[in-house]
Structure formats: C-alpha cells, structure tokens
Amino acid sequence: MITFLISLVVLVVGFALYSRLIERVFRVDDRQTPAVAHPDGVDYTPMKTWRLFLIQLLNIAGLGPIFGALAGACWGPRVYLWIVFGTILGGGVHDFLSGMMSERHDGASISEIVGIYLGKFMLQVMRVFSVVLLILVGVNFSKNPAQLLAILTPETLDANFWLAVVLIYYFIATFLPIDKVIGKLYPIFGACLIIMALGLMGVMLIDPSYRAAMPEMWQYIGVEGMGHPTNTPIWAQMFVTVACGAISGFHATQSPMVARCMTSEKEGRKVFYGAMVAEGAIALVWAAAGVTFYGNVAALNEALAGGQSVVVENICSSMMGPVGGVLALLGVIACPITSGDTAFRSARLTIADWFKIDQGNWKNRLLLSVPVLGIGALITQWGDFATLWKYFSWSNQTLAMMVLWAGAVYLHRNGFPPVACFMAALPATFMSAVSVTYFVQAPECLNMSTTLAYPLGILVAALFLGIFIWREWVMRKNDVLNPATV
C-alpha cells in the first residue's frame, strides 16, 4: 500500500510542478485560437474547458491504462515507476506539445506538423503511419467492448451483435459534428470512468484483506520470480506493453481534435497535460488492482492468458460487488468506445488534411467516413486482440518518439530556450531507445537476442540525439539549413 500511495502522491505533485514549468517555458499567450478565428460547426467548435478535458481524457484513455497496465503489472510493482515518471516526464510533455503545436498551426493534424519540422519524407511516413495506427486503434477498441457487453447481456446478444452496434456508433461519431455526439456523451462516460477508478482504489485502501495483499516494491528485491513469469525482459517490453498508461503516440493524433475546440491557450495545461496525468492515475490503480487481486505476478499472467476482458470482469465484480462491478465494467466499456470513435474520426481528419478535402461539406465527410469504417470492420474479423495489441503498442510508442523529436525541433526553431528544447529531446531519446530495442528483440518483430538489442537501441537513440544537436545548433548557427525549406 505504501508504494502505491507514494506513487500516487508523486504523480499528483509532478503534475502540479512540471506542468507549470513546461507551460511557462512554452510561453502560453492570449493569441486567437482556431475555434475562435473560424468556427465551422463541425470540427472547429468552441467548447468549455471541463468538456474539453473529459473529451481529451476519454479520447486517449481507451484500453491502454487498463489492459496495458494489467499486462505491465506482470513485472510486479516496478511498473509503478514507469507509469509515474513516464507520465510526468514523457507522456504529459508529449500530449501538451502535440496539442499546443496543433493549436498554433490552426488545428493541423499531427502528421502535417511532423512534416513541417522533420521534413517531407517524414511527412509522408507520418501520414501513412498515423492512418494505419488510428484504424488499428479503432479495431482494438471495437472487439473488446463488444466482448464485455456480451458478458453483461443475454446470450442471444453475443459479441458479434455488439460489434456491429459499436461500429455503427463509430460511424455516427465519425460523421456528425463533434458537439452533437462526442460532446454530449463524454461527460456521462467520464462519470463511469471516474467511479470505476475511485471505486477500485477505495476498496484496495479500505478493505483490510486487500490492503494487506497490496505488494510493496521492496518485497520483490532479491526474490526469485520478481520479474515477468515468462522471463520476458523488462527492457524494453514493459515500456511498450503499458503503452497509453505512461506515454502514447496515439494521443498526438487525438490532441488536434481538441485543439480545434479550445477558446484560450491557457486551457492547454489542464486539458492536455492534465488528461495524461489522469490517465496515468487510472493506469496506476489498475496495475495495483492486478497484482493485489491475484496475489502474485505468475497468477496474474496466467489469468491474462484467458483473456483481458475476463480479468477485468473478475476484478470488478469481486472487489466491488454486483452493483459496483456493473458500474466499473461500464467504465471499462466506455474507455475503449470513447477512444475508438475518435480514432476513426481522427483518421478522417488526417486524410482530409492530407488531401485538402473540406470537411464542412457533409458529402465530403461521408466520402471519407464510409471507407475508413469499412476497412476497420474488415480488420475486426482478422487476428486476436493479443497480436493486434503488440503491433499497436510498438507503432504507438514509435509515433510518440517521432512527435517528441518534432516537438524538440519546433521549440528550438521558434526561439525557445535550450531547457525547453531538451524537455522534449530527452524523452524523445529515451523513447527512441525503447522503440528500437523492442523492434529488434520482440518475437513478433526481428526476434533477436537482448545482447544485440540493448546496445543497438542505445546506439540509435544516441545517434538521433546527435543528429538533433548537430542540425539544430551547429548547422543552423552556420546558416547551412534554411528554416523555411527544411
């Protein structure tokens, strides 16, 4: 319990201090936002701060802080460290920068922003990468809500029925103006999500049996089996597995959607950084619930082999009783649905920005919404969640790496102090090492030994940092590079 409480306090204090620091170095001002400059009633729609926060939180939360945190808990309470410091130093910075860069570029999609600062080649890579990732997210966040809904309803309403219902809803949310469906439903889903997290945390802290069962980090030091029960290496597998619970490139695809609805730059810290910290807190609760409920990492890993949905249902119903279990399960259902709908919507917006297609016209929105949802529906019939999640997780963290590097370049080229630039460059370097190491060692990728993967990941990360310093400080100082054309 002590380890969990300390982690929670550090997360809250980190938000209070570090988010204000990055807001200060970013030089937030009173410039006119895109929603105020040219509202279109579809995507550029002014909204209140509390509504934007809930939309952003539910956009980014999805299954990441739940399924990802549970899978990460198979390495024991050490996952708390990555959730806390990954959120404060990486995820919060990533989400704030992606949202504010979009706001200062008229609500542009993240692929367009990366293209501006990392070049035309990266622009094309990011366009394709973003659309593929968003559709994968939509697919991942379609099948599991359907399975969870099937658990709560009569047998005649099976998972295929609910999958069709979820996809129909996704089409409606993708096609209609943002304030017609998403803006109205998200506060309700947000209540379910908050009740679920607070309920689980309350039970663990109040119930003597669960409180006594909560493992401490120091209890695992020097104990056999403190690692993953299948001997999966913690570096870099855990950092990719947790995904959205600490840092996520998917968030950067969602931030422009909210950036188009802000009425003041001063909302950025609460909306973007704040939503990431809230997601980190949710991940912390679920990681603690996993290791507490099952007692040890081996039992948790064995339970996850039977399906993440089953694990979530068991934890909720056992720890919170029938009524609390249903409320918690609804919160878990709301998480993926409220990321899946905006994933497909962001895919539409990314393609629209790519080909300069006006989305104020309903026919143009229909032209993009139908094929995007159609492709997603076809993919739902292929593969299992575990396989799709692995590919999503790696591409997700690789996207985060690209966005952080773009953020570091943005800060330098716009005259921000070096401390601001390295607030993005250092987590970008770390995520570069994570992404490369995972790709080299993961069974679904190159499947090479850690002896090769570890030094190669560090070498590539150091190379990226060196290229950044050389291009941004040495080359530009000597006027070799033209900021207008690079």
Contact 410, 101 (CB under 8 A): yes
Quote the longest CA-to-CA distance of the chain.
70
Q: pLDDT digit string (tens) for 365-401?
A: 999 999 999 888 888 876 555 566 667 778 888 989 9
486: pLDDT strictly greater than 60: no
Contact 347, 109 (CB under 8 A): no
Q: What integer pLDDT is reported at residue 388 of this predicted model? A: 63
Of 365, 309, 304, the C-alpha closest to 333 is 309
All structural domains of the chain with their residue ranges: 2-223+245-382
Q: What integer pLDDT is reported at residue 438 of this predicted model? A: 92
The residues, any chain, with a CB within 8 Å of residue 13's CB and separated by 6 or more, are: none
Q: What integer pLDDT is reported at residue 480 of this predicted model? A: 46
Distance in angstroms (rounded) separating the CA atoms of residues 320 and 200: 7
Q: How confident is the model at residue 359 (pLDDT cuts 50, 70, 90)?
A: confident
341: pLDDT strictly greater than 80: yes
Contact 117, 260 (CB under 8 A): no
| Percentage of the residues of the chain whose pLDDT score is greater than 70 | 91
What's the length of the chain?
486
Of 385, 338, 392, 336, the C-alpha closest to 63 is 336
Q: At what angle do helices 362-379 and 159-175 cross, to 10 degrees?
A: 150
Highest mean pLDDT among 6-15, 41-50, 296-305, 349-358: 6-15
Q: Is the dihedral of CA 200, 203, 206, 208 positive or negative?
A: negative
Distance in angstroms (rounded) separating the CA atoms of residues 53 and 51: 5
Q: What integer pLDDT is reported at residue 231 of this predicted model? A: 76
Q: What integer pLDDT is reported at residue 93 of this predicted model? A: 96
Name which residue leads in pLDDT, 388 or 361. Answer: 361
The first and second tokens of residue 431, run together, are 């995520």
415 to each of 14, 270, 427, how far by Cα in Å? Answer: 26, 24, 20
Q: What integer pLDDT is reported at residue 224 of this predicted model? A: 46
Could you tell me which CATH number the domain at 2-223+245-382 has?
1.20.1740.10
- CA dihedral (66, 70, 73, 79) in degrees, to 10, reads -20
481: pLDDT strictly greater than 60: no
Of 138, 91, 408, the C-alpha closest to 275 is 91
Contact 376, 387 (CB under 8 A): no
The backbone torsions φ and ψ at residue 355, rounded to the nearest 5 degrees and listed phi first, read -100, 10
Give the predicted TM-score (pTM) of the model. 0.88
HSE-CB for 209 with a 13 A CA cutoff:
5
Q: What integer pLDDT is reported at residue 478 of this predicted model? A: 57
Of 336, 323, 313, the C-alpha closest to 162 is 336
Name which residue leads in pLDDT, 136 or 406. Answer: 406
Q: How confident is the model at residue 112 (pLDDT cuts 50, 70, 90)?
A: very high
339: pLDDT strictly greater than 80: no
Q: pLDDT digit string (tens) for 56-109?
A: 888 887 667 888 899 899 888 889 999 999 999 999 999 999 999 999 999 999
Name which residue leads in pLDDT, 481 or 215. Answer: 215
193: pLDDT strictly greater than 90: no
Indicate the range of 16-30, 54-68, 74-88, 168-182 predicted with least confidence. 54-68
Averaged pLDDT for residues 252-276:
93
Q: What integer pLDDT is reported at residue 225 of this predicted model? A: 44
Number of neighbouring beta carbons within 10 Å of residue 152: 14
244: pLDDT strictly greater than 90: no
The rounded mean pLDDT for the chain is: 86
Indicate the range of 325-339, 447-461, 468-482 predicted with least confidence. 468-482
Q: What integer pLDDT is reported at residue 198 of this predicted model? A: 86
Q: What integer pLDDT is reported at residue 484 of this predicted model? A: 38
